[in-house]
Structure 1
Amino acid sequence: MIVYNMQIIRFFRGYLIMSFLFIIALFSSSCEKLIDIDPPIQTVVGQEIYNSNAGAASVLTGLYITLSDPGGLVHGMNSLSLKLGLSADELSLFNGSINEDLIRFYQNSSSSNLANGFWGSFYEFIFKTNAAIEGIERSNSISDNVKAQLLGEARFLRSFFYFYLTNLYGDVPLVLNTDTKISSVSPRVSQSLVYEQIIKDLQEAKKLLNEDYVASNVTSTTTERVRPNKYTASTLLSRVYLYIGEWGKAEEEASLVINNGMYSLTPLDQTFLMNSEETIWAFQSRDAGINNGDGVIFNFTDTDNGPSDSHPVYLSNQLYSSFETGDSRKAEWTKTKNWLAETYPYVNKYKTDVTSTAITEYQIVFRLAELYLIRGEARARQGKLDGAAADVNIIRNRAGLKDVATTNQNDLLNAIIKERRIELFTEWGHRWLDLKRLNKIDEVMSLISSSKGTTWASFKALFPIPVYDLSTNPNLRGHQNPGYPEQ
């Protein structure tokens, strides 16, 4: 929520204390983990947490821990991947589902009273990130290299949160500090100003972050790809430039990541394994018995007889029928389940479900394939057709498909957009955001709305601002997104 009242402030203080109390308890495996901190910090009082490198590092660690909660934004029943996949044309909801929250997203009938929308969650994380930036910048006790890395991580995270906020809600309040007198009356600002801040944060993050991945102490390197590095910032920066039409800069940032040698495309059955060479940034699991929430929600086990509260969705016919003949991604990243004489396709990118006791998969946020598709599209829009075709063919060839047959700019762009749909399905809302940025959302959603039991209207491309924020912030009143009630 935008209004940072005392409840949120108390929540943040409690979050710091509790995060550090269970830092050691959460994982005890022999491999190095993000949240291993020795010794554990047991008491936190305001700025005192920033009096040491370990304390300051644990503040950002606490953010990753909270983000990776199975019920949050990253994975599980409230995740961006699930709800945006339902909002678009990627996922279908089983008939008879009793989850009213998922039904609203599936039928594009979000309400401004929706309890599990994304607005409040993102602003809570932005508040925590702003607090971390302020605390780190004020500290005179943190070493320069640790301070640089942590500030880079915090600025990257803030840009990540704002990227999704502005793409889901349009113009949003831009809150860059923890001063409640300011935040409680912050008005919406234009999306262009939000993007300016995102780019500013990411450019600064690139300067501050290490090229290598760092461990929980932020001073030693690690093979765990769970804290952002310089190339993580370049990845999001490349995506942002693509979204705002800065094609040359999108190509440049994507090439920085592709050409650095740290990442490579993997065989399809290894893409979503923990710390795969394709991974640019991922979240660890918080539960030793669960790899990640996508494996739990999307994947059916041999013992599952059909849909349930924990398995409420399957792949839409629109998506499943879009795979070309011979596309290995269909065989490797989807499966089918027979139930009551019907066959249901489902997502099989993450293959390990809740029954596993060994963690083999992390929830991937950014991976190299997206960079090839970003660069391919950016090149095509600049008329660099040979380079664009080469990029998309790298993705197609890995899937066992032939090169694109056209070098016509428009046809090539359409081929790249189709590859984005097939390659990135059910990952972080790519399809929903692509439909919006490409101005195809009305065309696509109007066609499939009847199969969802609803009708489409253009205003549904943006989600509603929660009533609570409209009622408590005087500068938000009267500025609800069109089509939604103020109260």
Structure 2
Amino acid sequence: MKKIPFLISILLFSFYSCSDFLEQEPDEQVSIKQQLATKEGVLQAYNGIYRDLEAILSGNFAVYADLLGGNITFTPVISNKEISIPAKFLNTYSFNSKENKLDFETFYEDCYDLINQTNVLLENNNSFIFLSSEENNQLKAELLTVRATAHYLLTLLFAQNYNFTVDASHLGVVYNTNTVIAGVDFPARKTMAETYTLLQQDLENALQLYQNIQLLGGLEVSYFSVISTQALYAKIALQMNDYPKALEYANKVITSSYKVLLTKNNYILEWEKTEAPVLETILEFSAPRNSSGAVSSSLANSFFGYNSNQNYKRHVASGDLLSLYSTNDIRADLFLEQQLETEKNGNVALESYFFTKKYQVSPGTLFIRLSEIYLIRAEANARLNNTANALADLNIIRERANLLAINNTNNLLEEIFLERRRELAFEGHLFFDIARYKKDVIRDLGCIATVCNLSYPSNFFILPIPFASVSLNQNIKQNEGY
């Protein structure tokens, strides 16, 4: 029996973002009104929104920040043993994207499609009389959080970091709080200050609505909740340089007793599990499964997995990253070293490559875990000159990794930056941390891009808005330099 997904026949900013609704056989098409006429239909639609969000996060975005920041390099192609840039990152990796030659055009379209789907449900929320008031409020809270998440992801790739201008008056993204109809609506980009205000409104409204119930089956950590939304708020606030809010919400998560940090003794073992999330996971979207219940796609089989010397993926740790782990750092054991045949100057020889153990077998798509929240609180405290508290959180993470505590605060922010790079490697943070810190990109060991290094500030710290979006909407202004 063919599944009928929740589909919206609205063109979103480009010729290529029409919903698959238009491609269904006529007898399979289901109108929005029909889809949302029952509780089963609404939950089916909302489950589809989570699937789409997971697909966005587990797609090319999953390696973007580590690749551009310098944590990732490449294995040789199995067929010819040559090291080359994967085609899907050919332009991005060398900071050579063009509006009509953009590796992340689909990412842009998919985020706005997800936002539009979310807005459809929000706009029809009052008609869901088959849901209890608690269920309706929980649904609305989760939808608002999804909407905020999708807009936040867009800011990371298509807008300069919040402190790029003193008052954040530079361009952010189009922030849609209503469904958009092609040829009728022509929204303009907000400033980053306005974008963050709207993000805050969505998150704060959501936090007022949560009912502490779960609408869909599966693991609790697979869906937004009060705790995971507070964690998301802390994450977004830090990236937007709102240190008081980052501190406030990080503290709420840490003091909730909802999760506890991995210990020194179970740290490696937790990451080596096959499918279950590591114990300190706050939010991890479930990997899709096929009809037999097996995981059909994951970060392992897309980017990071190693099965044999004839079956492995292309993304491994760079020499730059590996050099940051001292011999007594237990996190150095999170890499699987393998000797692979590699062509160099016409000769084939065995070379060592280091696959991350964070995503082997069939993991879900990790988005937030407790260690990140401790490091958010550390940085927020450091930037607010609460140095003793910042040191305390930093040292919790360091000592768990078997490193000595730091007592000197002279380079505290730099130590936090480096600890984030070591602890959160392969979790999608580095390039965004570099932008927030206003650092230069320096990629030395293993970089094969035509442009390996990039000085801050630069137009090329962000991607261009896709050509189709700019050409169809005269109100959308292109990013500088494109």
Counterparts in 2 of 1:50 and 1:210: CA distance versus 1, 3 Å: same
Aligned with 1:74: secondary structure? Answer: helix
Note if 1:64 corresponds to 2:80. Answer: no
Partner of 2:411: 411
Partner of 1:159: 148
Partner of 2:73: 92
Partner of 1:50: 36
- Whether contact under 8 Å (1:376, 1:389) holds in the other structure is yes
Partner of 2:287: 285
Of residues 342, 352, 358, the one that matches 1:343 is 352
Partner of 1:38: none
Partner of 1:356: none
Shift of 1:229: 0.4
- Whether contact under 8 Å (1:131, 1:178) holds in the other structure is yes
Of residues 286, 300, 318, the one that matches 1:295 is 300
Listed one character per residue, the Cα deviations across residues 261-295 of structure 1 (whole Å, up to 9, x for unaligned) are 11111232215752443111111121344475222
Of residues 118, 126, 132, the one that matches 2:115 is 126
Partner of 2:189: 188
Aligned with 1:475: secondary structure? Answer: coil
Q: What is the distance in 2 between the residues matched to 1:67 and 1:179?
A: 19
Gaps of 5+ in 2: 1-9, 76-81, 160-171, 341-348
User: Counterparts in 2 of 1:431-442, with a 5 A limit?
Assistant: 431-440=430-439
Partner of 1:27: none
Listed one character per residue, the Cα deviations across residues 44-65 of structure 1 (whole Å, up to 9, x for unaligned) are 4323433333332222101112
Partner of 1:248: 244
Shift of 1:370: 0.7
In the alignment, residue 56 of structure 1 is paired with which amino acid?
V
What is the TM-score normalised by the length of structure 2? 0.82
Q: What is the distance in 1 between the residues matched to 2:72 and 2:39?
A: 44
Partner of 1:37: none
Q: What is the distance in 2 between the residues matched to 1:183 and 1:234?
A: 36
- Whether contact under 8 Å (1:129, 1:158) holds in the other structure is yes
- Whether contact under 8 Å (1:298, 1:348) holds in the other structure is no
Listed one character per residue, the Cα deviations across residues 416-474 of structure 1 (whole Å, up to 9, x for unaligned) are 1111111111213x10111111101xx23486897533264621101011111111112
Q: What is the distance in 1 between the residues matched to 2:247 and 2:150?
A: 23
Q: What is the distance in 2 between the residues matched to 1:420 and 1:292?
A: 27
Q: What is the distance in 1 between the residues matched to 2:297 and 2:380?
A: 32
Aligned with 2:413: secondary structure? Answer: helix
- Whether contact under 8 Å (2:69, 2:443) holds in the other structure is no
User: Counterparts in 2 of 1:68-79, with a 5 A limit?
Assistant: 68=54, 72-75=55-58, 78-79=59-60
Gaps of 5+ in 1: 19-41, 353-358
Q: What is the distance in 2 between the residues matched to 1:374 and 1:44?
A: 44
Of residues 230, 234, 237, the one that matches 2:230 is 234
Q: What is the distance in 1 between the residues matched to 2:260 and 2:296?
A: 23
Counterparts in 2 of 1:450 and 1:370: CA distance versus 1, 3 Å: closer
Aligned with 2:56: secondary structure? Answer: coil
In the alignment, residue 444 of structure 1 is paired with which amino acid?
V
Q: What is the distance in 1 between the residues matched to 2:158 and 2:16?
A: 24
Q: Which moved more, 1:341-350 or 1:138-147?
A: 138-147
In the alignment, residue 450 of structure 2 is paired with which amino acid?
G
Q: What is the distance in 2 between the residues matched to 1:291 and 1:400?
A: 37
Identity of aligned residues (%): 25
Q: What is the distance in 1 between the residues matched to 2:126 and 2:199?
A: 19
In the alignment, residue 119 of structure 1 is paired with which amino acid?
Y
In the alignment, residue 453 of structure 1 is paired with which amino acid?
T
Q: What is the distance in 1 between the residues matched to 2:11 and 2:411?
A: 44
Aligned with 1:197: secondary structure? Answer: helix
Listed one character per residue, the Cα deviations across residues 361-384 of structure 1 (whole Å, up to 9, x for unaligned) are 322111111110000111111222
Partner of 2:402: 400
Partner of 2:450: 453
Aligned with 2:407: secondary structure? Answer: coil
Q: What is the distance in 2 between the residues matched to 1:241 and 1:143?
A: 33
Of residues 309, 318, 321, the one that matches 2:320 is 318
Of residues 355, 361, 373, the one that matches 1:371 is 373
Counterparts in 2 of 1:471 and 1:270: CA distance versus 1, 3 Å: same
User: Counterparts in 2 of 1:373-388, with a 5 A limit?
Assistant: 373-388=375-390
- Whether contact under 8 Å (1:283, 1:363) holds in the other structure is yes
Partner of 1:444: 441
Shift of 1:108: 1.8
Aligned with 2:426: secondary structure? Answer: coil
Q: What is the distance in 2 between the residues matched to 1:450 and 1:304?
A: 22
In the alignment, residue 35 of structure 2 is paired with which amino acid?
I
Q: What is the distance in 2 between the residues matched to 1:224 and 1:151?
A: 17
Partner of 2:478: 480
Aligned with 1:173: secondary structure? Answer: coil
Partner of 2:258: 262
What is the TM-score normalised by the length of structure 1? 0.81
Aligned with 1:341: secondary structure? Answer: strand
Counterparts in 2 of 1:211 and 1:265: CA distance versus 1, 3 Å: farther
Matched positions, count: 433
Q: Which has the higher contact order (CA 8 A, sep 6+)?
A: 2
- Whether contact under 8 Å (1:107, 1:449) holds in the other structure is no
- Whether contact under 8 Å (2:38, 2:130) holds in the other structure is yes
Q: Which moved more, 1:366-375 or 1:376-385?
A: 376-385
Q: What is the distance in 1 between the residues matched to 2:307 and 2:465?
A: 41
In the alignment, residue 483 of structure 1 is paired with which amino acid?
G
In the alignment, residue 37 of structure 2 is paired with which amino acid?
N
